[in-house]
């Protein structure tokens, strides 16, 4: 078994048992209506729910990343995030917060003013070329995701020479660059739904174990995405069971963090998969 940890504010957090990251979207246009929280009451209730249901990390986003969304500036994003971060910092001072942003200024303010512990950058440092240096200076864990272009243009960039090899190469280059700057706590997110066709998402899921080559924790975020509900001809609101199925597969493939809307169900996935993994095939022979 590979033992992995991440450094959260000077404390090593073990990933031997995978962690669940609960989503809080401070946006009016997130693709999943159930995750949109804007009033103080809604934000407090949502964070409390994540904690009560066993979530370990609160991931807060101030910008929708669907292809039909509007790209907001760093200033607009921070104006949206600041009140929510302030509320959470006040009401949940011990919570581990992650901010979902591709802007270095937002990352810096979130960590320095509001105690955010993790930066979750869907662009892999491509939208803001100061992000890597900023994360190095902040000395916080960095979630490095694979995407091409921007959320608005990403689905125009789904042509690859060799799909899996190209993504592996992307991460190898980015991780080397981050390491050269002194960033050691890197979490790899293959980027399901970003710059990938529906079939490519399933090819990626089938090859998750390839990403262990980097010896970094692996984050999987497939919660209620179209790759789940389109093949089943259902809606995002109806896709909890589909999410659970592939979260279970991801855990069996070595995922260490699940980013989800439905925390209780993901925590149950972790508990049962963890229990199953304690038994080797030899022990199951009677």
pLDDT (0 to 100) of residue 28: 66
75 belongs to the catalytic site: no
59 close to 24: Cβ distance less than 8 angstroms: yes
pLDDT (0 to 100) of residue 105: 97
How large a percentage of the chain has pLDDT more than 70? 92
Per-residue confidence band for 72, with pLDDT thresholds at 50, 70 and 90: confident
Assess whether pLDDT exceeds 80 at residue 76: yes
pLDDT (0 to 100) of residue 286: 42
Q: Could you give phi then psi for residue 106, rounded to 5 degrees?
A: -70, -40
Give CATH for domain 17-284.
3.20.20.20
Element (H, E) at 188: strand 186-189
* Average pLDDT value for residue range 68-74: 80
pLDDT tens by residue, 157-210: 889 999 999 999 999 999 999 999 999 999 999 999 999 999 999 999 999 999
- 56 by Cβ neighbours in 10 Å (0-12 / 13-18 / 19+) ranks as buried
Q: Which of 75, 259, 271, 278 is catalytic?
A: 259
| 3-state SS, residue 36 | strand
225 belongs to the catalytic site: yes
Per-residue confidence band for 279, with pLDDT thresholds at 50, 70 and 90: confident
* Average pLDDT value for residue range 2-9: 88
263-277 and 240-252 helices, crossing angle to 10°: 30
* Average pLDDT value for residue range 25-34: 62
* Average pLDDT value for residue range 222-238: 96
pLDDT tens by residue, 31-61: 445 544 568 899 999 999 999 999 999 999 9
Give the integer Cα–Cα distance in Å for 200 and 163: 8
Could you tell me whether strands 5-8 and 142-145 are parallel, antiparallel, or unpaired per DSSP bridges? Answer: unpaired
pLDDT (0 to 100) of residue 285: 46
7 close to 141: Cβ distance less than 8 angstroms: yes
User: Shortest CA distance to 216 belongs to which of 192, 184, 194, 248?
Assistant: 184
Give the integer Cα–Cα distance in Å for 139 and 184: 9
User: Shortest CA distance to 65 belongs to which of 30, 95, 91?
Assistant: 30
Q: What is the pTM of this model?
A: 0.92
Q: Which of 225, 230, 264, 278 is catalytic?
A: 225
Give the integer Cα–Cα distance in Å for 7 and 18: 15
């Amino acid at each position: 078994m590979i033992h992995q940890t991440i450094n959260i504010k000077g404390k090593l957090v073990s990933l031997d048992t995978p962690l669940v990251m609960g989503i809080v979207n401070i946006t009016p246009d997130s693709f999943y209506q159930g995750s949109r929280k804007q009033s103080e009451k809604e934000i407090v209730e949502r964070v409390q729910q994540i904690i009560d249901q066993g979530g370990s990390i609160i991931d807060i986003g101030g910008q929708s990343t669907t292809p039909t969304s509007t790209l907001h500036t760093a200033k607009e994003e921070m104006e949206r995030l600041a009140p929510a971060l302030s509320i959470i910092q006040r009401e949940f001072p011990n919570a581990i917060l992650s901010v979902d942003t591709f802007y270095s200024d937002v990352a810096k303010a979130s960590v320095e003013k509001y105690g955010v512990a993790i930066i979750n950058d869907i662009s892999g440092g491509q939208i803001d070329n100061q992000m890597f240096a900023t994360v190095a200076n902040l000395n916080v864990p960095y979630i490095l995701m694979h995407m091409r272009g921007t959320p608005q243009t990403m689905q125009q960039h789904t042509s690859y020479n060799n799909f899996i090899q190209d993504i592996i190469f992307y991460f190898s280059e980015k991780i080397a660059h981050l390491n050269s700057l002194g960033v050691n706590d890197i979490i790899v997110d293959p980027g399901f739904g970003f710059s990938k066709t529906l079939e490519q998402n399933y090819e990626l899921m089938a090859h998750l174990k390839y990403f262990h080559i980097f010896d970094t924790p692996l984050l999987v975020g497939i919660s209620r995405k179209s790759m789940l509900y389109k093949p089943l001809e259902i809606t995002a609101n109806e896709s909890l069971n589909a999410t659970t199925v592939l979260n279970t597969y991801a855990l069996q493939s070595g995922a260490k963090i699940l980013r989800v809307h439905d925390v209780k169900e993901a925590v149950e996935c972790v508990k049962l998969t963890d229990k199953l993994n304690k038994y080797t095939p030899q022990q199951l022979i009677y």
